[in-house]
Every structure is written in structure tokens, then in C-alpha cells.
Amino acid sequence: MTPPAEPRYADPPYADPPYAWMNGGIVAWDDCLLHGRSQGAFWGANVFEGVRGYWSPGTDQLRLFRLDDHLRRLRQSMRALRLAHRITDSELVDACCQLCRANEFREDIHLVIVAYFGRGTGWDTLGVTDDTGIHITALPRPRAPGYAGGLSVGIASWRRISDDTIPPRIKSGANYANSRLAHQEAVRHGYDTALILNRGGTVAESPGACVVMVREGAVVTSPATSGALEGITVATAAELARRHLGLTLTRREIDRTELYAADELFLCGTLAEIAPVTAVDGIPVGSGSPGPVTRKLQALYEHAVRHGAGYEGWLTPVLTPVPAAGADPAAEPAAVQPAGVRSAAGTPAGVQPAAVGR
């Protein structure tokens, strides 16, 4: 079977939101800038986390999914890269929520937190510097079409970076040149995306997600030591499978040819969520359609991110409930605080503009 002539899915265009957050406060979207010779921009000396936000129309609430876990992983990346910043996790949570309210999001979003190195002495791109900063941006991001219909993937000719060269455990922008090479090669060959093998020839991950295989009743994913990121979404899928399906996720090496023999295959990532893979190198996975375990996990995931019943600790609500006029402040809130009220100067009410300097 030959791959499709063109990728089946493409991102729709999105209008820029009005605001970003940078170094202490809200800024205009177009003012969220780094100098081109800064270490973070020139050589990708930064670390980041992408976070999904899910809109629940029934409750008029936007919730950020597993934000605390993403911040924990961000701190691990910062520590490994020796990138110090005095901002606290609580302040970062507040900043993320403040930005979402300022942009008046009423849909699913993708929010990105970046910690970066700024100017080195004499603009030295490798020198030690205490000049660091953080910026946060968020965009509307509906669910990808591949979530429903499945993805066709190809094995990349590029091999995965490793812990003794550019450690995948450090979620740095520079690392994603590896992902970019693999993904764009796959797209040029007509696939939706790629799967990347490590130097040992076993499966590492896709360009932006972990790989999970269902074979003969076992659910398997590659360990971090194979070159996979220690994924938050794959950990979510593991917990859902354990609690609701009685399945235990096993972490072990996966051979390339096991993918051809798999009953089901899916990707787990913040943007991918739980995305079925229906063909590898033009060979159908199982029946060639998303399988029953994948579909059950998608349904469980959807319930967890929209409603949170049993998983409230995974969700950070963005909109602050406020009592109706004349109501008892201690009573159950009757509405959520609207984000659309703006000051005369155009800055969202209750939002502090960015401070000058840090």
C-alpha cells in the first residue's frame, strides 16, 4: 500500500489573539519579543511546556489540564539547563489564568510557557548569563481531525537525539530540530507525521508525542531511556486505562516490526491528545481503523478534561466565579466573571500591564 499523495490534515488559519504575557504582565501580542541575538532566540537556549485548555460550555468554564504537572516538568528542564528565575509556580499559574481571561477565550486552547536565556555578556551566545525571562502565549486550538479518523505515519530516516548528546528529557526548543526534520520528511512523503527510531533501532517517539501500542492484550509504550519524553498525556492514558479498563501500561523497547503486528497504535501528547494511528509505512494497523482500546481511552480522556469527575486535581479553572449582584458572598456563585470588560485604555479590567524590566 502506498502512502496518500498529500497529508490528509492541515491546521486552519487562526487570528492572532490580542495579548501575550511576558516578564511580569500582559503585553500586546506583537510586543512579545526577544532580541534576535539573545541566547534564547539565536541558539534556542530555552525550555518550554505546552498546556491544553478545555472549554466546557455547560459550565461556562475554561480549565487548564494538568498545569501543575507541566510546571513541575518545566522546573526539571530549567534545573538541567541551569536556567534560574525567581518566579514561583503559583505566580505562573496566576499568569496563565490572567492571560486566558484577557484574551476572552471561549474555546479549546493551546498555551505555551517558555523560560529563556536573554543577553549574554557582549552578546556571547554560549556564555553564562543571569539574564533570563519568561513569556506565555495562547492560541485557540481545536481538536485535530486525526483524532477521529486516525493518522498515517512513516518511519523517519532521522534517528532520535539521546541523553548523552541533546537530552530529550530537557524540553528545549533546540531539541525540536530533530522533530522538525522527521516530521517534514514524513509530510513530503505523503504521511501525516513520522515515528522516530533511536540509535538502537527501536521506537523512541513521534515528533511531538509518545507512541503507545496495543498488542495481544498488552498496552506498551517506549521508556524514557529509549529517547521518549516523559509524557504527561501518556501518564494520563495509563491512569485511565488502569482505573477504568483494568489495563496496565508496560514500558519497554518496541521493535519497528512490532508496529506492523500491532492490534492498535496511538499517539499521546498535549496537542495530539490520544490520536489513533491507522497505518505505518503504508501497512494498516490492525483493521486499519481506530481500535476499541483507543476509542475507550478517548472517551475517558474527554470526560476527564471536560468534566473532571474523579480527576478534579488535574484541572485548573481559569474563570473566577463571582456572586450575582445583591447575593450573599458566602453563597454558591451564580455566574462566572466575564472577561470582556475593558478599561478606557483598552487593557482588560483587572489585568496589570507588564512591568518595565524584571
The residues pairing with 67 across neighbouring beta strands, listed in sequence order, are none
pLDDT at 333 over 80: no
Fold held by 146-306: D-amino Acid Aminotransferase; Chain A, domain 2 (3.20.10)
pLDDT at 36 over 70: yes
Fold held by 19-140: D-amino Acid Aminotransferase; Chain A, domain 1 (3.30.470)
pLDDT value at position 331?
Answer: 38
pTM above 0.85, yes or no: yes
Query: Residue 98, class by beta-carbon neighbours within 10 Å (0-12 exposed, 13-18 middle, 19+ buried)?
Result: buried
Grid cell of 11 as nine digits: 491546521
CA 356 distance to own-chain centroid? 30
Q: Between 67-80 and 89-102, two packed helices, what is the crossing angle to 10 degrees?
A: 120
Reply yes or no on whether 296 is catalytic: no
Identical fold for domains 19-140 and 146-306, yes or no, is: no
Backbone angles phi, psi at 31, to 5 degrees: -100, 5
Angle (CA) 133-139-145 rounded to 5° is: 135
Mean pLDDT of 267-283: 98
pLDDT value at position 11?
Answer: 56
pLDDT band at 145 (very low <50, low <70, confident <90, very high): confident
Among candidate residues 52, 70, 171, 306, the one labeled active-site is 171
Give dist(CA 202, CA 215) in Å, integer: 16
- b/e string for 102-134 if b means 16 or more Cβ within 10 A? bbbbeebbbbebbbbbbbbeeeeeeeebeebbb
pLDDT at 324 over 60: no
Domain ranges of the chain: 19-140, 146-306
Identity at 292, one-letter amino acid code: P
Percent of the chain scoring above 90 in pLDDT? 82
pLDDT value at position 13?
Answer: 66
Query: In 3-state terms, what secondary structure has residue 305?
Result: helix
For 3-24, the pLDDT digits (tens) are: 444 444 445 667 899 999 999 9
For 92-128, the pLDDT digits (tens) are: 999 999 999 999 999 999 999 999 999 999 999 999 9
Backbone dihedral region for residue 104 (phi beyond 0: left; psi -120 to 50: alpha; all else: beta): left
Grid cell of 144 as nine digits: 485535530
